[in-house]
């Protein structure tokens, strides 16, 4: 019989995490009578037994707040956990410690809220016998077998608002304005914000671009009297030679690859090729911050309630999913075996091209 559950948030923060925590805690306590432990700073809290025992007051008033009251981390892989031993830094498998910690305090099941890396860690814990339910969150929306992850639609709203604001200054100064948005491996945010904001060029990882064709698109607009252009680019967009802007690695992060600088790279090339002054806005972590929009508040609540229900049904080893506006669940393997990327021949790309958007292909 389930009496006590744990919950944590891992990976990057995003709007809607607090709404999920609220839904988990309130459903667990009010509907099922469970006690809820909140583990701090992702998997680090599980390893170090750093938690808070939630009361209903702890989650009061957090529905509309950005970030996560539990804190988060994308550096702490429990299977390669950084520890200092005998004066040396080592990486150790601490998954057995997690199981021991949960047993000591009688935590019967765990709800993990996270993206690709966090959910892969949850899948490995499940294989070791931990009763785990996953909830997908990522502004990149690249979790398979779900239509939307927590935080994505708010990130699209933020990016769209930025495109709207850039339009007026681009038109006033007759410039090329480039908006660089997050999206290392998947271009959903750039694509949807670009369509919604009326961008002229959208560059995404799934469609390698030819910089000369991007420049040609901008010059074609100038030749018909449109002396400005808006380019929305995912940070992970790559040119036809396969190169990605300023790619570096850091072994401490769950996603080792870091992309940076595509906006400035594009601006230099486009200004040289077109003769039109080009400026860059890097949206960066602004996409992760702030209040979740109504869609994400509702989605987060639906996911949180569904996750606790799956605990009660003992459907462990599954991830909550939204498919055709219906809440369901899939296995961890279905959720994390591959990233959900933009189909280059899919509907969104097709309709964008139909209204004149260029992709540099």
Q: Which of 13, 140, 200, 296 is catalytic?
A: 140
Q: Locate 40 and state its tokens.
A: 């701090």
Residues 6+ apart with CB under 8 A from 129: 99
Nearest to 147 by CA among 307, 292, 321, 300: 321
**Would you call 126 helix, strand, or coil by DSSP?**
helix
Q: In angstroms, rounded to a whole number, what is the distance separating the alpha carbons of residues 295 and 299? A: 6
> Do residues 209 and 187 touch, judged by C-beta distance below 8 A?
no
Edge-to-edge strand list for the sheet holding 229-234: 201-203, 229-234, 176-181, 278-282
For 32, 176, 226, 228, the CA distances from 171, given in Å and listed in that order, are 57, 9, 9, 6
Asked about 140 being catalytic, the answer comes back as yes
Sign of CA dihedral 279, 285, 291, 294: positive
Active-site annotation, residues: 140
């Amino acid at each position: 019989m389930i009496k006590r559950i744990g919950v944590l948030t891992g990976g990057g923060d995003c709007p809607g995490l607090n709404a999920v925590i609220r839904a988990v805690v309130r459903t667990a306590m009010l509907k099922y009578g469970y006690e809820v432990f909140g583990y701090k700073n992702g998997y680090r809290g599980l390893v170090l037994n750093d938690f808070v025992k939630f009361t209903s007051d702890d989650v009061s008033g957090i529905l509309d707040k950005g970030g996560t009251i539990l804190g988060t981390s994308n550096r702490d892989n429990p299977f390669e956990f950084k520890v200092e031993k005998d004066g040396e830094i080592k990486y150790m498998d601490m998954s057995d410690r997690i199981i021991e910690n949960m047993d000591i305090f009688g935590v019967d099941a765990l709800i993990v809220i996270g993206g690709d890396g966090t959910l892969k860690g949850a899948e490995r814990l499940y294989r070791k016998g931990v009763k785990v339910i996953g909830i997908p969150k990522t502004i990149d929306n690249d979790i398979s077998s779900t239509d939307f992850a927590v935080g994505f639609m708010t990130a699209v709203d933020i990016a769209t608002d930025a495109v709207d604001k850039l339009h007026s200054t681009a038109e006033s100064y007759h410039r090329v304005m480039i908006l660089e948005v997050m999206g290392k491996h998947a271009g959903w945010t750039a694509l949807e914000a670009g369509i919604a904001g009326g961008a002229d060029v959208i560059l995404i990882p799934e469609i390698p671009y030819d910089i000369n064709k991007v420049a040609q698109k901008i010059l074609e607009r100038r030749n018909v009297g449109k002396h400005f252009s808006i380019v929305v680019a995912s940070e992970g967009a790559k040119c036809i030679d396969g190169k990605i802007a300023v790619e570096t690695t850091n072994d401490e992060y769950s996603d080792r690859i870091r992309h940076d600088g595509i906006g400035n790279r594009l601006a230099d090339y486009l200004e040289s090729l077109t003769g039109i002054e080009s400026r860059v806005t890097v949206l960066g972590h602004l996409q992760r911050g702030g209040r979740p929009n109504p869609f994400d508040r509702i989605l987060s609540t639906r996911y949180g309630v569904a996750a606790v229900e799956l605990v009660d049904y003992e459907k462990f080893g599954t991830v909550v999913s939204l498919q055709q506006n219906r809440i369901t669940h899939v296995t961890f393997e279905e959720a994390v075996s591959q990233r959900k990327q933009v189909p280059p021949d899919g509907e969104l790309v097709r309709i964008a091209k139909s209204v004149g958007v260029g992709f540099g292909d």
